[in-house]
Amino acid sequence: MVAGALAVIVADTDVLIDALKGAEPSLGTVRKLLEGAGLATTAVTAFELLAGARIEHEQQEVENLIGGMTVLPVDLEAARRGAEVHRALRASGLAIGAADRLIAGIVLAQGGRLLTRNEREFARVPGLAVQGP
């Protein structure tokens, strides 16, 4: 990340599911960020959303939502950071799920901030900036 640049805000799966359902405050926050400075998500979250869309209408809603944001990949640096998260949490006895470790790794690699309702779990991740909707 460039010094002085705003950190990318990365939406977690739970916030985007809420937005798709029209639930506040997630819907308003997502709309505001999409219209303003921008919003990103991860390839892991895109997978979770697409896999959870059961009917064609839901699939199209997910495609429309993720089509309006940057989807951050699981690249080598994200994999490294996710592995660091795994080791740190395992050592402390505070596990989180594999998908969440990858999401955290992606956000850390980007120098971003994770937008999630699951602040308590992600707060376990050393160095991860987290905010609620």
Domain ranges for the chain, please list them.
9-131
Q: What kind of architecture, by CATH, is found in domain 9-131?
A: 3-Layer(aba) Sandwich (3.40)
Residue 6's pLDDT is 55
* Order of all β-strands in the sheet with 40-42: 70-72, 40-42, 9-11, 113-115, 129-131
What's the pLDDT tens digit per position in 12-71? 999 999 999 999 999 999 999 998 867 999 999 999 999 999 999 999 999 999 999 999
Of 116, 111, 109, 110, the C-alpha closest to 45 is 116
pTM: 0.91
Residue 1's pLDDT is 39
